[in-house]
Structure 1
């Protein structure tokens, strides 16, 4: 039974991944990611979605803290104070990604977390603690999740959770933005 449950967890939620892809394509949105814990795995899964070539710009893999500081301008002090696998660093990665010189991105995702025990004595979070954040225009949302299992199971759970939360959040925030634009246009008339 345990192997059957693990196999179910280890599968890509293709239905929700496809829904995300269709949403991006239908709305003409472009996606850019910054990955720490997932180290490119999230990008690999995006690339498996049939229409990903139409919307997925790519991902910066910032597994090492040096990449976070140099590529995404995350403050070394923030990493030292809060640890690399924290809500603060996840949001700073998102800020660095959205400020990057990569043109055309509309939606940004950043992800950090602990897939296995760390040697950092200041890290007090449990293995399986994951943070990921989304941004569309000025709207941001961060999630804290707790997963269990071996590192590969935690990675798959993380990615499937990102897909599910993104397809739940993004339509709502886009509708809110469209209402705001419509409201401002009516004030002009």
Structure 2
């Protein structure tokens, strides 16, 4: 049987982490994560790579709304107005991770991993991402299918893929 050639969207997390590491090391930048629905899985994927202390600065696991406010400075009124799973909160989480670290790059994730907790407006599998790269803030929403583990794994994969794309596009 011929080995399958992986497309860029199917790269395993260790390969993506290596790409993130290479890009950060070339720029001399550090990464911070702010995670809710993944509970630290992005940080774990990053620190699985030996030598990650050279480019990974810290990770915030802010599962509760109170933690988002206390640890990242996300305004409680923002959470009340838009919900924890929102563009506004993901962006605020990324900005908060930068403000509370020495990192120049941050990724934030907040979502509904399931199997419960979804709504018509925010069904299970909805994840908002916030990215801050060298002062540029961006956000995006994805909808992943599968069980809780699949949604969380897809979130980690997407976060790393986008970091590679964003870092590669920065001068």
- TM-score, normalisation: structure 1: 0.79
Q: Helix, strand or coil: the match of 2:122? A: coil
Partner of 2:103: 105
Counterparts of 1:95-174 in structure 2 under 5 Å? 95-100=95-100, 102=101, 104-119=102-117, 124-172=121-169, 174=170
Structure with a larger share of its residues in helix:
1
RMSD: 2.1
| Deviation of the 1:74 alpha carbon | 1.2
Unmatched runs of 5 consecutive residues or more in structure 1: 1-10, 176-189
Contact 2:93 2:130 in 1 (8 A): no
Unmatched runs of 5 consecutive residues or more in structure 2: 1-10
| Deviation of the 1:22 alpha carbon | 1.3
| Deviation of the 1:138 alpha carbon | 2.0
Counterparts of 1:46-61 in structure 2 under 5 Å? 46-61=46-61
Report the number of matched residues: 163
Distance 2:33 2:117 in 1: 26
- TM-score, normalisation: structure 2: 0.86
| Deviation of the 1:26 alpha carbon | 2.1
Tell me: CA distance 1:33–1:144, structure 2 relative to 1, closer, same or farther (3 Å). same
| Deviation of the 1:120 alpha carbon | 7.7
Say whether residues 1:21 and 2:21 are aligned partners: yes
Q: Deviations over 1:59-115 (max 9, x none)?
A: 011001111111212111211121111111111112222222x3x311111110110
Counterparts of 1:3-42 in structure 2 under 5 Å? 12-42=12-42
Q: Which has the larger radius of gyration?
A: 1
